[in-house]
């Protein structure tokens, strides 16, 4: 089999109500989607991560100018071989960021093609399914005015519980005092329920502020404290992991086995959160998750993308072994973004849905996706 064409679909939609996380205001949701076509008629879907502050045109340019020439005529049934070709040929200007996101998109599409060719879900090709369903946690609590939204966010917590979530992740990083007020309000609101919380500051703090926030939240039973400091500051990750009695999570802004090797050997994380659409796709995720297992580090993939990113992430989660075997092990969770995303649910006929607190993992071939092309046209960037 050989790759004959790569169609790039950068899509974007402005939000009616912009929202904020600690790094800025999100005015549009975007995605860089790719469709890798082959001489057999089989084509596969992939996605490059595009966070709320980044144009989908960046990864699209990498795919068009750097990766397309490397991948045309390559065999998509040998994704490991193609991955190293893409990584090696972009090393001097790549290794991180949008270049790795672009590699991720093509790699995911190749695994989708392989799954369709072998008539197996990607999880089976990765080694098999440890689970057919996964518990999602709600990622939410974005801001619509900035600080001082503790009451509204407590109401949001109750809404997530009504919607069937038992775990939810609160966006913090709006100043330690404001963060503490928000958490006190949410903890009060959910008192008496079985809900559990995580917090995510999106690397808004230095180590002293992160330590102060962690100390203030020490009694809230947090499942984890995510991205307390910038990803470059591995020393502070290690310091916080030593200082706080809260599991430290990170890795959504780290890439490839090389980047995670540094974090793992130095002891930065209790929980690693590679994003399939930016860490380097399934091929890099295999390297990273095998290494995490050897270090005894749990993996909960980060996902904040379109339906393609969600479907891919579910296949990876199905194939993740539990890190610490026992009768009642801690299972991986699915990050379920509850923020506004105009085209996420419309992009496919089988969007992710919550049933009895669980999300079922597709056992259809490949990613199990059927993509609505009208949505690609409707939201195409630059129209």
The tokens describing 132, both together, are 């057919």
End-to-end CA distance of the chain: 35
Q: Which is nearer to Ca ion, 156 or 200 (CB)?
A: 200
Q: Of 9, 203, 255, 302, which one is the catalytic site residue?
A: 302
Instruction: Choose the stretch contacting Ca ion; rule: CB under 5 A; options: 67-75, 144-152, 181-189, 200-208.
Output: 200-208
* Smallest distance from Ca ion to CB 96, Å: 17
DSSP code for 166: S
Q: Which is nearer to Ca ion, 47 or 200 (CB)?
A: 200
- Residue whose C-beta lies closest to Ca ion: 200
* Smallest distance from Ca ion to CB 156, Å: 17
**Which residue, among 30, 37, 66, has the nearest Cα to 51 in the 3D structure?**
30
d(CA 252, CA 275) in angstroms, rounded, equals 5
Length of the chain: 383
* Smallest distance from Ca ion to CB 81, Å: 32
The tokens describing 89, both together, are 């040929």
Binding letters toward Ca ion, positions 159-198, x by CB under 5 A: ----------------------------------------
* Smallest distance from Ca ion to CB 249, Å: 8
Contact with Ca ion (CB under 5 A) among 35, 179, 200, 335: 200
Contacts of 232 by beta carbon, 8 Å cutoff, 6+ apart: none
* Smallest distance from Ca ion to CB 202, Å: 6
**E strands within the chain?**
3-21, 24-38, 43-48, 133-140, 167-171, 196-200, 225-226, 248-250, 271-272, 298-299, 333-337, 359-360
Please report, as residue ranges, which positions from 239 to 268 form the binding site for Ca ion (by CB under 5 A): none
Q: Which is nearer to Ca ion, 200 or 254 (CB)?
A: 200
Q: Which is nearer to Ca ion, 121 or 214 (CB)?
A: 214
d(CA 46, CA 312) in angstroms, rounded, equals 8
- With CB under 5 A as the rule, give the number of residues binding Ca ion: 1
| Helix, strand, coil share of the chain (percent; to 5) | 40, 20, 40
Q: Which is nearer to Ca ion, 106 or 201 (CB)?
A: 201
Q: Which is nearer to Ca ion, 149 or 200 (CB)?
A: 200
What is the radius of gyration, based on Cα positions, of the chain?
20
- Catalytic site includes residue 302: yes
Q: Are 166 and 194 in contact (CB under 8 A)?
A: yes
Helix (H, G, I), strand (E, B) or coil at 206: coil
d(CA 192, CA 7) in angstroms, rounded, equals 51
d(CA 337, CA 251) in angstroms, rounded, equals 17
Contacts of 284 by beta carbon, 8 Å cutoff, 6+ apart: 83, 100, 103, 104, 107, 255, 256, 257, 274
Q: Which is nearer to Ca ion, 112 or 200 (CB)?
A: 200
d(CA 71, CA 5) in angstroms, rounded, equals 9
Residues that bind Ca ion (CB under 5 A): 200
Catalytic site positions: 302
């Amino acid at each position: 089999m050989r790759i004959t064409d790569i169609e790039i679909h950068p899509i974007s939609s402005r939000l009616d109500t912009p929202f904020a996380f600690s790094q800025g205001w999100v005015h549009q949701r975007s995605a860089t989607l790719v469709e890798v076509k082959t001489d057999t008629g089989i084509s596969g879907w992939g996605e490059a991560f595009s966070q709320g502050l980044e144009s989908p045109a960046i990864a699209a340019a990498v795919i068009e100018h750097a990766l397309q020439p490397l991948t045309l005529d390559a065999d998509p049934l040998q994704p490991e071989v193609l991955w190293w070709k893409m990584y090696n040929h972009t090393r001097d200007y790549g290794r991180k960021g949008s270049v790795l996101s672009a590699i991720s998109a093509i790699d995911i599409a190749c695994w989708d093609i392989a799954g369709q060719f072998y008539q197996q879900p990607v999880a089976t090709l990765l080694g098999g399914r440890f689970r057919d369903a996964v518990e999602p946690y709600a990622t939410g609590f974005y801001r619509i005015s900035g600080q001082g939204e503790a009451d509204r966010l407590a109401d949001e917590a109750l809404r997530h519980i009504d919607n069937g979530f038992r775990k939810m992740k609160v966006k913090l990083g709006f100043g330690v005092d404001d963060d503490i007020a928000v958490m006190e309000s949410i903890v009060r609101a959910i008192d008496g329920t079985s809900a559990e919380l995580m917090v995510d500051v999106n690397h808004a703090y230095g180590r002293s502020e992160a330590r102060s926030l962690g100390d203030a939240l020490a009694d809230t039973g947090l499942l984890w404290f995510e991205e307390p400091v910038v990803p470059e500051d591995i020393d502070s990750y290690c310091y916080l992991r030593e200082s706080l009695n809260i599991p430290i999570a990170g890795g959504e802004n780290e890439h490839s086995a090389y980047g995670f090797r540094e974090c793992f050997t130095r002891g930065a994380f209790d929980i690693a959160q590679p994003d399939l659409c930016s860490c380097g796709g399934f091929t890099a995720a295999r390297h990273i998750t095998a290494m995490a297992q050897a270090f005894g580090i749990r993996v909960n993939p980060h996902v904040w993308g379109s339906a393609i990113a969600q479907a891919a992430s579910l296949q990876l989660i199905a194939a993740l072994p539990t890190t610490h075997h026992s009768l009642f092990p801690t299972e991986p969770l699915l990050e379920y973004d509850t923020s506004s995303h105009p085209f996420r649910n419309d992009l496919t006929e089988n969007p992710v849905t919550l049933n009895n607190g669980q999300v079922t993992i597709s056992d259809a071939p490949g990613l199990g996706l059927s993509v609505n092309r009208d949505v690609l046209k409707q939201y195409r960037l630059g129209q």
